[in-house]
Structures are given as C-alpha cells and as structure tokens.
Amino acid sequence: MMLIIYCMLIITLCLIPIIAIKSKPTYFQKNYFKQHILFFLIKLIIISMFIYIFISNLSVFNSKLFIIVGCFICVIFHFIEGFILQKIIINNGK
C-alpha cells in the first residue's frame, strides 16, 4: 500500500513539467534546450529529495525497491516529456 501511494506521488510530481509544456508551448519554442535542462534539474532535485525524505522518515522496509521504482518512473516520464517537447518544436509551438 505504501508503494502505491509513493508511486502516485512521484507520478504527480513528474506530471507537472508535462502540464507546463502543454499549457505554455510558446514558452518552449525559444531556447527549448535551456528550458528543458532547467526543468530537468529542478525535477531531479525535487524528486530526489522526495525519495530521500520518504525513505528516511517512514523507515521503509525495502528501500532499494523504492529507489528503483522512483528512478524508473522519473525516466519514463522524462521520455514522455521529451516526446511532447519534440512534437511542439516540430510543429512550431502549436
């Protein structure tokens, strides 16, 4: 049960950049690499802190599983974010 809650919270955190890209596509039309790197670093720091706080404060039994699942979710959503950003760039921000 704790793993499901953990996954849902990380998925919610990973959806924030995707929603931002979909809501303001013209912002990412110029300097898209710079904005993507900035989003990636902020997302990486926040999710890493979330994983650490979740594991340390709740004394999770199998911490390796939580770390692997958290990283896997981040990678999958990073690829989704990249595909959405690529589609926006190819379509000139439309």
The 10s digit of each residue's pLDDT in 4-36 is 888 898 899 888 888 888 888 777 677 667 777
Query: Rounded to an integer, what distance in angstroms lies between the CA atom of residue 37 and that of residue 21?
Result: 13
The structure's pTM equals 0.79
Which stretches of 1-94 are assigned E, i.e. beta strand? none
Q: Which of 67, 58, 74, 66 is nearest to 17 (CA)?
A: 74
* Side-chain half-sphere CA neighbours of 46 within 13 A: 16
How many CB atoms within 10 Å of residue 44? 12
User: Where is 26: in which H helix or E strand?
Assistant: none
Number of domains observed in the structure of the chain:
1
Q: Residue 94's pLDDT is what?
A: 58
What is the domain range of residue 66? 2-90
The 10s digit of each residue's pLDDT in 37-55 is 887 888 888 888 888 887 8
Q: Which of 55, 59, 83, 77 is nearest to 67 (CA)?
A: 55
